[in-house]
Structures are given as C-alpha cells and as structure tokens.
C-alpha cells in the first residue's frame, strides 16, 4: 500500500510537470522553493485543467476524477498507514504505540483486508488513469488505445 501510494505521488509530480509545461529542473525549483506538496500540486493541476481545457474533455474528466479519488484514498490510507502494524487473531491491526502520549495506553485499531484492498485497488486505478491521460501520453497514444488500457474513467472509490 505504501509503495502504491508513493508511485501515485510520483505520477502526480510528473503530471504537474506535464500540465505546467516544466522540465524536471524547473519543476524541482518551483516545488522546492514553493514548498509544494502533492496535495497542492493536485489543486494546481485541477485549476489548470479548468483554465486550459484540452481538446479531449474525456481525458480531462478522467484526470480530475483520478485526482479526486487520490485525495479520498490518501485520507483513508492515512487513517492507518503510519501506525505500527501487527497481526492479531482477528487479522491485520495497527496501533498508535509510537505516537501515544506519555503514560497513555496504546490504541489498537483493526484494519480489515477489505479496507486495505479498497485503498490499494483504488490507488492502482488512479495510477492507471493518470498514466494514460497525461498530456504527453495523449500525444503519444490514440484515444482508442487509452480506452483499451482503461484510463477513461471507472475505479472511483466513491
């Protein structure tokens, strides 16, 4: 789950560069000096897609939906991703053992395999939609091919 989320963050970075028309060095300066995080990049990308719609509104919609899903999936993931993991008789669980206040009892929280699968599958769908709908991918891949790869919709966790 952590690696899939990191992969999507990298794709958001790539999409940010692509939508802004930046090379990697220019994007790095803007991101470092502006202290931009993926959530802020997502907002900038969405605003740019509104400001400058492309000649493929389906791809624009797919990107906006993917970015919205990414936000929701990140919120779901953050509910348990940074806690301490373990396996109990009831299955996977997490605890806030390292983040608890001094003297407080650790909090245990069960994490269902369905919740894990939901986040992982959702992030994979987001990755797929971003990959095939970035402006540079559109230039290199016909719309029919992108549709075959499943990048034109679906997969929304909503």
Please list, in sequence order, all residues whose beta carbon lies within 8 angstroms of the beta carbon of residue 52, skipping any fewer than 6 positions away. none
Exposure string (b/e) for 121-133, b if CB count within 10 Å is 16 or more? ebbebbbbbbbbb
User: How many angstroms separate the CA atoms of 120 and 126, rounded?
Assistant: 10
pLDDT at 151: 60
pLDDT tens-digit map of 105-144: 766 667 777 888 899 999 999 999 999 999 888 888 888 8
Mean of pLDDT values over 91-104: 63
pLDDT at 156: 47
pLDDT tens-digit map of 48-89: 999 998 888 999 999 999 999 999 999 988 877 777 666 666
pTM of the model: 0.80
Mean of pLDDT values over 28-32: 93
pLDDT band per the 50, 70, 90 thresholds, residue 1: low
- Whether residue 154 has pLDDT greater than 70: no
């Amino acid at each position: 789950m952590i690696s899939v989320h990191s992969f999507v963050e990298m794709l958001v970075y790539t999409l940010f560069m692509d939508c802004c028309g930046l090379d990697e060095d220019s994007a790095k300066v803007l991101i470092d000096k502006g202290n931009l995080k993926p959530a802020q990049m997502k907002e900038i990308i969405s605003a740019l897609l509104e400001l400058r719609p492309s000649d493929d509104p389906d791809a624009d919609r797919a990107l906006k939906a993917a970015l919205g899903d990414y936000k929701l999936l990140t919120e779901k993931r953050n509910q348990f991703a940074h806690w301490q993991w373990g396996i109990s008789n009831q299955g996977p669980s997490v605890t806030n053992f390292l983040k608890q206040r001094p003297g407080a009892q650790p909090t245990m929280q069960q994490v269902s395999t369905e919740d894990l699968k939901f986040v992982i599958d959702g992030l994979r769908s987001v990755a797929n939609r971003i990959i095939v709908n970035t402006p540079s991918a559109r230039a290199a891949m016909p719309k029919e091919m992108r549709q075959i790869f499943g990048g034109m919709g679906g997969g929304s966790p909503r």
